[in-house]
């Protein structure tokens, strides 16, 4: 019995330490991701029109998500606070009228919260992907140069 309690204590302590340490890199990674999207984001628009479904979404900050309505159509959406659990959401919903999402009218739905959309900014996703490919190609070439004597 004592052995089981000791094992459970050690596992719990290890889980708490791991969870505590993993938060810092995630914040840094999220900030880098947000900064990258902000570099390619255009000026705010009042609304976007799409075909009634979105392809993907990604949380990039406490109050911002990137929403893909097509393979290359991405939008940085900022919601107003409070919007609890947006960073940790596994599912979201988005209100819309006639296949149009409007800022200051529609909302992102997260675990019972209705988070009003404050701003919608289109992202030049094609340019972002092109620049990332070029950056990776440069890094690969630099590694190859360093590897050669």
From the list 43, 82, 88, the residue with the least C-alpha distance to 61 is: 88
104-143 per-position pLDDT tens digit: 999 999 988 899 999 999 999 999 999 999 999 988 888 8
From the list 51, 53, 79, the residue with the least C-alpha distance to 64 is: 79
Using CB atoms within 10 Å of the CB of residue 147, give its burial: 0 to 12 exposed, 13 to 18 middle, 19+ buried.
exposed
Whose structure tokens read 């990258």? 36
In the predicted structure, residue 12 carries a pLDDT above the cut 50: no
Q: What is the pLDDT, as a whole number, of residue 84?
A: 78
16-70 per-position pLDDT tens digit: 455 455 555 666 777 888 888 899 999 999 999 887 677 889 999 889 999 999 8
Domains of the chain by residue range? 2-147
Is the pTM here over 0.85, yes or no? no
């Amino acid at each position: 019995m004592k052995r089981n309690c000791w094992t459970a204590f050690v596992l719990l302590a290890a889980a708490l330490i791991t969870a505590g340490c993993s938060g810092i890199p995630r914040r840094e990674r999220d900030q880098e991701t947000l900064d990258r999207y902000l570099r390619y984001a255009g000026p705010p628009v009042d609304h976007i029109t799409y075909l009634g479904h979105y392809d993907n979404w990604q949380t990039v900050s406490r109050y911002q998500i990137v929403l893909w309505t097509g393979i290359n159509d991405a939008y940085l959406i900022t919601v107003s606070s409070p919007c609890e659990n947006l960073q940790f959401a596994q599912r979201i919903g988005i209100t819309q009228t006639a296949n149009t999402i409007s800022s200051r009218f529609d909302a992102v739905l997260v675990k019972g919260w209705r988070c009003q959309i404050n701003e919608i900014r289109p992202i030049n996703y094609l340019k972002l992907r092109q620049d990332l490919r070029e950056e990776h190609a440069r890094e690969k070439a630099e590694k190859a140069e360093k590897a050669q004597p």
